[in-house]
Amino acid sequence: MKTEIIDTIKKDFQENILEESISYNEIYLTVKKESIVKLCDRIYYHFDLPLVSIFATDERNINGFFKIHYVFSIDKNDAFIILRINVDGKNPGYPSITYKIAAANWYEREMQDMFGLVPQGHPDPRRLMNFEDWPDGVHPLRKDFDIRTKPPRVNGEYIYRHVDGEGVYEIPVGPVHAGVIEPGHFRFSVAGEPIINLEIRHFYTHKGVEKLFENISIDKAVFLSERISGDNSVAHAVAFCQAMEKIAGVNVPPRARFIRTILLELERIYNHLGDIAGIATDVAFAFGAAHANKLKEEVLQLNERVTGSRMLRGMNAIGGVRRDIGDKKDEILQKLSIIQRDFRKLMENFTSTPSLMDRIETTGRIYPDTAKGLHVVGPSGRASGLDRDTRRDHPYAAYPEFNFKVPVLKAGDVLSRTIVRADEICESVALIEQALWALPERETRVNVEKIPDGHAFGYTESPRGETIYWVRTIGNRIDRCKVRDPSFCNWLAIEYAVLDNIVPDFPIINKSLSLSYSGNDM
Amino acid sequence: MTVEDEIEIMGQRMNDKIRKIFGRSLHIREVDAGSCNACEVEVNSLSNPIYDIERFGLHIVASPRHADMLLVTGSVTRNMELALLKTYNATPSPKLVAAMGSCACNGGIFGETYASGGGVDKFIPVDVYIPGCPPRPQAVIFGIMVVLDKLEQKIGKKEV
């Protein structure tokens, strides 16, 4: 693949490039460690490519190095450019890029905990995934760490950012919350009602998923990917399967691609309905909440009738889908048209209820430059003017064959996030209709016996945004699987969204960003 | 039979049982000890207008101190272990514990690793296991009916 931008980058970096390889739409450039800050800075600011992921691999048993991958997305050309640096296994330090590119913050802290790679010059080098009771020098994703090890608990303390001043006090919330939500800790510093500072602390539900991928068979790995973020089961499973299919060089049958698209959109509909219901609940608009929850339940029941699982689980497999849903066409079409009609009425009701609009308009604003700097993805990013959608920019499944709009708004408040979701629901219904009417004939799955050695990206647009997998296989086993859930990017945005808002508005802002704790913590 | 009919029949039976034992609602505190959030989706579904479990005497409360029963999901991660124990200790006796979902029952797909504990019963006593990934709302209601029988036995023993 040849594109202008890649040639320019290569010419620009000439003396710093050690090695170059291209597979599929992924361009890997191994560069000198010392030059990484300069190169990332140039790609990010000059070429204006978003940093979508950073991850490490442990290759000490092959060449004595850790490798760090910086992944940038070239949305215009459906390509990824990956800068790689080698970090000495015995002296694992490398220059941090966080002070230049804010979006790198958590990735570098994650690698510090998981691989023991020290980002030199990181502005906030505290622990992230390993809590204070985790012993020093133990790093789970290193190859010499056995997954069943249970490191002893040690004494330690986590130091929160502290805000001082007259009348400033702290409100600690969580990890066990009052509502039925996942665990996470929030620490508000407030004076009166407005929030001066919010610090989030997560990774309570860290289950060691990436390590687990390396220790289970490939068949089972599909099920594991479905359970990374429960309500985004399909998006995760499809992303994982696509990465594996890319490695295996398998062409998924058209019918399977169409069915995947239908499932992905069904998932988007029920998630967005749930989020809209949540926003209505949190502003005490009980009628709207009940109505939206009822619609969500109807989609869940439809899911169950169509696939056997309310969360659409167990449908995806490497090489296609396990079950044909062609015979349920009429039922899906009929149900969705009723749901869409009711949903339109509901949204009219929403926008004509002043008590609701008053609470959500201008609440929890994420300004476009903040969103861009933190790499906010999905509906939250699109509500802040970031015109990115994996379905359009990196087409997969059957999306290239359909027409759909990507709604983008600029205000970045709760209202625009609600409207983006509402518009996306209508687009999703239209997509499902297109897919069902054009459903190609024949088989739904090709058999994939053995996965050759290789590595590849798999990506989907989950209801929360861009979901990226990078998988490397060796000997029909997974050697490394990096999962980048959209919530991992979006969580930090909440610290900015709540500023100057009042504490009672926090639940609405949180709900409107629709963040997964499990997908983030893994 | 539609879902609504199923719920109506199960719900009425549960309602009678709860009224007989408590003379009020059964108060439930949900604790996520490291689930993938699918179980939370289903617990939230229980409160939607289709199931509306509140009308059958199931009330989800905000604090463990108000709860008769803990509904625990997830395989109990290393980082949630302490929070789960504190929640359990904060719940007044006689308390019931339901392990909801495959992860809570035995660790599920996450199993027992450096980060995952491998089931709720390794940390606190469990009265009823509700398998499923995630269990359907009907399964949760059934599980709660089973645990109510157990409570009847527990109370009965004390009187003897």
Task: Please give, rounded to a whole number of angstroms, the shortest distance from the CA of A448 to a CA of chain B.
Answer: 23
| Biggest CA pair distance of chain A | 71
Pick B110's closest partner by Cβ from A131, A176, A212: A212
Query: Of 1.10.760.10, 3.40.640.10, 1.20.1260.10, 1.10.645.10, which CATH number belongs to A209-521?
Result: 1.10.645.10
Helix (H) or strand (E) holding A479: strand A477-484
Position A337 scores a pLDDT of 92
Domain that holds residue B58: 3-7+32-154
Cite the DSSP H helix spans in A14-104: 36-41, 60-63
Please, are residues A173 and A185 in contact by the beta-carbon 8 Å criterion? Answer: yes
Average pLDDT over residues B81-86: 92
What CATH number is associated with residue B75? 3.40.50.12280
8 Å CB contact of B38 and A516: no
Q: Indicate whether this model's pTM tops 0.90.
A: yes
Q: Indicate whether B26 belongs to any domain.
A: no
Report the pLDDT value the prediction gives residue A2, as an integer from 0 to 100: 56
- pLDDT at position A89 is 85
pLDDT band at B67 (very low <50, low <70, confident <90, very high): very high
With respect to residue B159, please indicate whether it lies within any of the assigned structural domains: no
Q: In this structure, what token pair is assigned to residue B35?
A: 């689930």
Distance from CA of A333 to the nearest CA of B (A): 20
Q: Is the dihedral of CA A183, A189, A194, A198 positive or negative?
A: negative
Does the pLDDT of residue B159 top 60, yes or no? no
Closest CA to A139 of A111, A119, A116: A116
Of A205, A228, A293, the CB nearest to B34: A205
Domain with CATH 1.10.645.10 in chain A: 209-521
- Measured between CB atoms, does B43 come within 8 Å of chain A? yes
* DSSP, residue by residue, A411-432: S-SHHHHHHHHHHHHHHHHHHH
To which residue do tokens 């004939």 refer?
Answer: A441
Strand partners, B26: B58
Mean pLDDT value of segment B94-100: 90
pLDDT at B120: 93
CATH superfamily, domain A4-120, is NADH:ubiquinone oxidoreductase Nqo5 subunit (3.30.460.80)
One digit per residue, the tens of pLDDT, for chain A of length 522 reads 557 777 888 787 778 888 888 888 888 989 888 888 988 988 899 888 999 999 999 998 888 899 999 999 988 888 899 999 999 888 888 999 998 999 999 999 999 999 999 999 989 888 888 888 899 889 999 988 888 889 999 898 888 888 888 889 999 987 888 888 889 999 999 988 899 999 999 899 999 999 999 999 988 899 999 999 989 999 999 999 999 999 998 989 999 999 999 999 999 999 999 999 999 998 888 999 999 999 999 999 999 999 989 999 989 999 889 888 878 889 999 999 999 999 999 999 988 989 888 888 889 899 999 999 999 999 999 999 999 999 999 998 889 988 899 999 999 899 999 999 999 999 999 999 999 998 888 788 888 888 889 999 999 999 999 999 999 999 889 999 999 999 999 999 999 999 889 998 999 999 999 899 999 988
Q: What pLDDT does B160 receive? A: 43
- Which residue, among B6, B29, B45, B48, would best test binding to A if mutated, counting the most A CBs under 10 Å from its CB? B48
Tell me the chain A residues in contact with residue B80 when contact means C-beta distances shorter than 8 Å.
175, 183, 204-205
Q: Where in chain A is the domain with CATH 3.30.460.80?
A: 4-120
**Number of domains present in the structure of chain B:** 1
To probe the interface with B, which of A205, A234, A275 has the most B CB atoms within 10 Å? A205
Crossing angle (nearest 10°) for helices A486-497 and A506-513: 150
What pLDDT score does A181 carry? 87
Please report residues of B whose CB lies closer than 8 A to that of A511: none
Q: Which two tokens stand for residue A80?
A: 């990824």
Residue B109 DSSP code: G
CA distance linking residue A289 with residue B19, whole number of Å: 29
Q: Are A98 and A104 in contact (CB under 8 A)?
A: yes
